[in-house]
Amino acid sequence: MTSLDPVLLFFILGLTAGLMRADVRLPSAIYELISMLLLLTIGLKGGVELARQPVGSLAFQALAVIAMGAVLPLLAFPVLRHVGRLKRADAASVAAHYGSVSVATYAVATAYFMTREIPFEAHMPFLLAVLEIPAIVVGILLAKGLNRDIRIGQVAHEVFLGKGIVLLIGGLLIGWIAGYEGLASIKPLFFDLFKGVLALFLLEMGLITASQFSSLRQYGPFLLVFGIVMPLVSSVIGMLIGFNLGLSLGGTAMLAILAASASYIAVPAAMRISVPEANPTLSLAASLGVTFPFNVLVGIPLYHTMTEQLFAIARS
């Protein structure tokens, strides 16, 4: 393992400060701005690359990725229900979190790949956006079945027109229309500041992660184990799907990372409205308190190495 990316040092600073109860939180308005900048930048970057490349079998890849987003929670649910002995609604909600994705993890992975100059498919932000959704639908169905009244319009709106998807897809389209030269004038804000903004974001994520530790303790060791084993399993599935879709090494590793990541924004918001009887602190303790730090500190290089080996084997 090579030396730690400096943005991860900010994560560790935040984590440490949080554990010592030092008050270095970003104001919520800043946290929101930073999230929006990351989403737009990720979208723009993808769009700019798309403008240069042929898109290929985008629709087919989207379908495969939707299937993955639906299958992952179906795998997680019985484990959570029977091994973890969670209530039905809680199991469904946690499962939905793990079937969906974390933009923060994706951003850290992007930084990781940038540093190592590993290319990956330009339309990844599109797959990222697509992957947010199916797990939410499956989670709701697992919790409620088909027959109960759920605020379907409300939830659909929340899901399809959430900040994450609108800014990712919006950025993608703008990047695609304007192209690399077109974006030159806004590059200083969106591209040059990207890693600095990510560093601030991870400082805050460290604090949030630390604040999850206390609720984690409350729920016993099961969540801890689940929060590490589940992404390991998911990453293998993501990797194999990526490989079979014919993605590049970078793209395959990225799909492994996406599969392994767990949502902590889009899914909690949707679940709170559609499955209110699920305890939101449970899902967040697992997703933010365990899986996010595991993925950014250990998982990303691990899934990358794993994918390299798969490609080495395949090539030989």
Partner 1 sequence: MSHVARKLLTIVTESALEKILPEDFKKLGARGFTITEARGQGSRGMRSGTWDENGNIRIEILCDSVTADAIAHHLQTRYYDDYAMVVFISDVMVLRPDKF
For its own copies, the binding residues (CB under 8 A) are 3-4, 6-7, 9-10, 13, 16-17, 20-24, 26-30, 32-33, 36, 111, 114-115, 157, 161-163, 166-167, 170, 173-174, 177-178, 182-183, 185-190, 192-193, 195-197, 199-200
- In the bound state with partner 1, the residue whose beta carbon lies nearer, of 52 and 272, is 272
How far is 258 from 100, CA to CA, in rounded Å?
A: 8
DSSP assigned state of 184: G
Shortest distance, CB of residue 160 to its own copies, whole angstroms?
A: 9
- In the bound state with its own copies, the residue whose beta carbon lies nearer, of 3 and 147, is 3
Q: How many CB atoms lie within 10 A of CB 291?
A: 27
Structure-token pair, residue 112: 């990781």
Name which of its own copies, partner 1, none residue 276 binds, using a CB cut-off of 5 to 8 Å depending on partner kind: partner 1
- In the bound state with partner 1, the residue whose beta carbon lies nearer, of 23 and 181, is 23
- In the bound state with partner 1, the residue whose beta carbon lies nearer, of 16 and 154, is 154
- In the bound state with partner 1, the residue whose beta carbon lies nearer, of 274 and 307, is 274
Cα–Cα distances in Å, from 261 out to 133, 154, 187, 192, 245?
Answer: 14, 26, 28, 26, 20
Q: Is 93 exposed, middle or buried (0-12, 13-18, 19+ CB in 10 A)?
A: buried
Strand locations in the chain (E): none
Helix (H, G, I), strand (E, B) or coil at 247: coil
Shortest distance, CB of residue 137 to partner 1, whole angstroms?
A: 19
Shortest distance, CB of residue 301 to partner 1, whole angstroms?
A: 28
Helix (H, G, I), strand (E, B) or coil at 217: helix
Name which of partner 1, its own copies, none residue 281 binds, using a CB cut-off of 5 to 8 Å depending on partner kind: partner 1
Shortest distance, CB of residue 168 to its own copies, whole angstroms?
A: 11
Shortest distance, CB of residue 26 to partner 1, whole angstroms?
A: 9
Name which of partner 1, its own copies, none residue 197 binds, using a CB cut-off of 5 to 8 Å depending on partner kind: its own copies
Name which of its own copies, partner 1, none residue 193 binds, using a CB cut-off of 5 to 8 Å depending on partner kind: its own copies
Q: Which amino acid is at 197?
A: V
- In the bound state with partner 1, the residue whose beta carbon lies nearer, of 44 and 278, is 278
Cα–Cα distances in Å, from 101 out to 40, 68, 161, 188, 246?
Answer: 17, 11, 16, 28, 21
Name which of partner 1, its own copies, none residue 33 binds, using a CB cut-off of 5 to 8 Å depending on partner kind: its own copies
How far is 64 from 73, CA to CA, in rounded Å?
A: 15
How far is 161 from 49, CA to CA, in rounded Å?
A: 24
